[in-house]
Structure 1
Amino acid sequence: MAASQLIIDTDPGVDDAFAISLAALSEDVDLLGVTTVFGNVPLEHTTRNALRVLQLCGRADVPVAAGAARPLIHPQAARAGHIHGEDGLSGRSAALPEPERDIEPGGAIKLLVGLLEEAGEPVTIAPIGPLTNIALLLAAHPHVKAKIDRIVLMGGGVNRGNTTATAEFNIWSDPEAARRVLVEENVPCVMVPLDLTYKCAVDAEWLAKLAAGGPIGAALNALTPDYLASYRRSLGWDGIVLHDAVAVAEAIRPGILRTETYPIEVETSFGPGRGSTLVDSRLPGLRGEGEGAGAPSTVQVAMDTDVDGLGEFVLGRLTR
């Protein structure tokens, strides 16, 4: 069976590092490239972190290109250094190996277009940071939509937020870009929201198995102290939430997450709901009544999974 083709768009970030490694170490994945975006930390750091994580995994063959350094329209109000560390990797990015490969000239959009045009079959894209690069790609190069199998993104929430009461960080960082991708573009999307990623949190025992599972697992575990401290406060126990790795698991193995198809909107106002994903889970007969004409955009929203099975899948790939 041919390996599935995948591109990751990312803002590493501890959970991004786990997600990149998950794809890079999976023999059934043809990781075509990695593009970086601002998000958890500035673009300079996210790009360097992506290069170093790939080097850790022995994947200097994977091209990396730097993308958007800021949102489409409005400045990003805050970053997530208080969760991921000021360098994005708990202050330990320098402990990863120096990359043998430099970034690709021309930037992320050029790399994305080239990889998609050259692909012999439709490609899965896994955006696990703000959706700025993907919005720019689809707006400037609409012909590549035919080469995209689906977009599997980590972002949003059905009944919760993390940056605000209702908004998840990736969507909140550039709501205008998120709306363009999720609402305005006709590309199949799977949204992996906070509601599910929190269900998939891993505990100290899982992290101990990761650390004991080989040099890559040990190196990844060593990146988690700041992240672990943050989630100890929010979870109430020793563990971390591997948000982005949950989405990449679905990109690698379609169906590992159970999805439901719902109409969706993204709030781009400057009120308290900015950056919220409005998932319309009403019964079909109740949707849209009195709300104007036009069919709403629909997205596959990941709602559930075999949590233990998913944890074993990720751990197995990272320690094989």
Structure 2
Amino acid sequence: MALLPLIIDCDPGVDDAIALLLALAAPELDILGIVTVGGNVPLSVTSANARRICELAQCVDVPVFEGCPRPILRQLVTAEEVHGVTGLIGVDLPPPTIVAQPEHGVAWMIRTLLDASEPVVVATLGPMTNLAMAIVQAPQIIHKIQRVVIMGGAITHGNITPSAEFNFYCDPHAAQIIFTAGLSLTLISLDVTHTAIATPERLQALRLIGQPIGPVVADLLGAYGAYDQQRHGFAGAPLHDPCVIAYLLMPELFQTRDYYVEIETISPPSLGRTIVDWWQTTGRPANAKVAISIDAEGFYQFLTKRLQRFNHGLN
């Protein structure tokens, strides 16, 4: 079976870390590289965390590149109140021994896409600054991108403002560049990921995976979930970013519909708002597949089963 060539653009972050573990456990994926961005925590921390996760998974050959430390036009907004100052609240992983690659993440992304023998999938799990900057610098890469699967956006209500989700709020201009670039896009928003809850039963199943992965994942989600449990009354942590990897591996877990989507970049009260033309009011053609639901129980069963592969050396 041909492997799916994949670039992961992320800002670890608890849910990014679990998404990376799910991707690293997937034999279907050829992970060309991981590019980090300033987002949930500053760039130096997201980079170190991506390398920590690769070492935890014993996947030290996956290269990690540092991308943009801040959004295109705004100062960096972080989410340390959710993810902790280390970005990996609830665990204390040792400093990574592998180092970040010397090439800038945006330059590497451009070079890799231009040199690719087949179109590449890009998974964006944080602010989309890196991919947007790559497209601005080298728009010819658009034809080398098979599709972009995005965790971001909030159709009904936000998690950092009343109307905006964190990734799009952090860099709304990057998001708008992506949605107007003519790419094949799939959007997985808060409206879906907020239904993928790590209930106590699901959390216990993850913990029972055992060393080395189970306790780390369970401790991360236990600490990370406290914020949403207090704020939203959830029964546990919502798992945002792993939904992107699950969609790539098992798209039947999701229902999607085609819509026209744009991102608000001007109005301060609604900066970063995801505008989805549900009823074709604008008459504009759809530019994204928008996830409208997830089989949450199936998703957690899939996640748990895949993470168990680390107990057997990924065999």
2:297 aligns with: 308
Counterpart selection for 1:202 from 198, 205, 218: 198
2:7 aligns with: 7
Q: CA deviation at 1:226?
A: 3.2
Q: CA deviation at 1:100?
A: 3.7
SS in 2 for 1:251: helix
TM alignment of 1:173-184, pairs within 5 A: 173-182=170-179, 184=180
Are residue 128 (structure 1) and residue 128 (structure 2) matched?
A: no
Q: Hey, what's the Cα distance between the residues in 2 that align with 1:247 and 1:224?
A: 17
Q: CA deviation at 1:234?
A: 3.1
SS in 2 for 1:8: strand
TM-score after normalising by structure 1: 0.92
SS in 2 for 1:272: helix
Counterpart selection for 1:138 from 123, 135, 140: 135
Distance 1:273 1:89, change over 3 A: same
Are residue 216 (structure 1) and residue 210 (structure 2) matched?
A: no
Q: Hey, what's the Cα distance between the residues in 2 that align with 1:192 and 1:29?
A: 20
Q: CA deviation at 1:254?
A: 3.7
SS in 2 for 1:222: helix
TM alignment of 1:35-74, pairs within 5 A: 35-74=35-74
SS in 1 for 2:241: helix
Gaps of 5+ in 1: 290-294
Distance 1:218 1:317, change over 3 A: same
Q: Hey, what's the Cα distance between the residues in 2 that align with 1:238 and 1:84?
A: 18
> AA paired with 2:78?
R
Are residue 288 (structure 1) and residue 282 (structure 2) matched?
A: yes
> AA paired with 1:54?
C
TM alignment of 1:226-245, pairs within 5 A: 226-245=223-242
Q: CA deviation at 1:303?
A: 0.6
Question: Does the aligned pair in 2 maintain the 1:104–1:111 contact within 8 Å?
Answer: no
SS in 2 for 1:223: helix
Gaps of 5+ in 2: 310-315
1:90 aligns with: 89
Question: Does the aligned pair in 1 maintain the 2:197–2:234 contact within 8 Å?
Answer: no
Are residue 26 (structure 1) and residue 23 (structure 2) matched?
A: no
SS in 2 for 1:126: strand
Residue range with higher mean Cα deviation, 298-307 or 115-124: 115-124
Q: Hey, what's the Cα distance between the residues in 1 that align with 2:39 and 2:239?
A: 16
Question: Does the aligned pair in 2 maintain the 1:4–1:252 contact within 8 Å?
Answer: no
Q: Which runs of 4+ in 1 moved over 6 A?
A: none
Q: Hey, what's the Cα distance between the residues in 1 that align with 2:109 and 2:28?
A: 21
1:292 aligns with: none
When the two chains are superposed, the root-mean-square deviation of aligned CA atoms in Å is 1.6
2:79 aligns with: 80
Question: Does the aligned pair in 2 maintain the 1:122–1:147 contact within 8 Å?
Answer: yes
Q: Hey, what's the Cα distance between the residues in 1 that align with 2:73 and 2:81?
A: 24
Q: CA deviation at 1:114?
A: 2.9
Give the aligned length.
308
Q: CA deviation at 1:255?
A: 4.2
Q: CA deviation at 1:28?
A: 1.4
TM-score after normalising by structure 2: 0.93
Q: Hey, what's the Cα distance between the residues in 1 that align with 2:195 and 2:90?
A: 27
SS in 1 for 2:255: strand
Q: CA deviation at 1:308?
A: 1.4
Question: Does the aligned pair in 2 maintain the 1:89–1:224 contact within 8 Å?
Answer: no
Q: Hey, what's the Cα distance between the residues in 1 that align with 2:174 and 2:285?
A: 18
1:279-299 per-position Cα deviation (integer Å, ceiling 9, x unaligned): 0101x4xx226xxxxx45621
Q: Hey, what's the Cα distance between the residues in 1 that align with 2:287 and 2:243?
A: 21
Distance 1:255 1:185, change over 3 A: farther
Counterpart selection for 2:101 from 84, 92, 104: 104
Q: CA deviation at 1:247?
A: 1.4
Name the % identity.
38
Counterpart selection for 2:157 from 125, 143, 160: 160
Q: Hey, what's the Cα distance between the residues in 1 that align with 2:234 and 2:190?
A: 18
1:5-26 per-position Cα deviation (integer Å, ceiling 9, x unaligned): 1111000110000000000011
Distance 1:303 1:100, change over 3 A: same
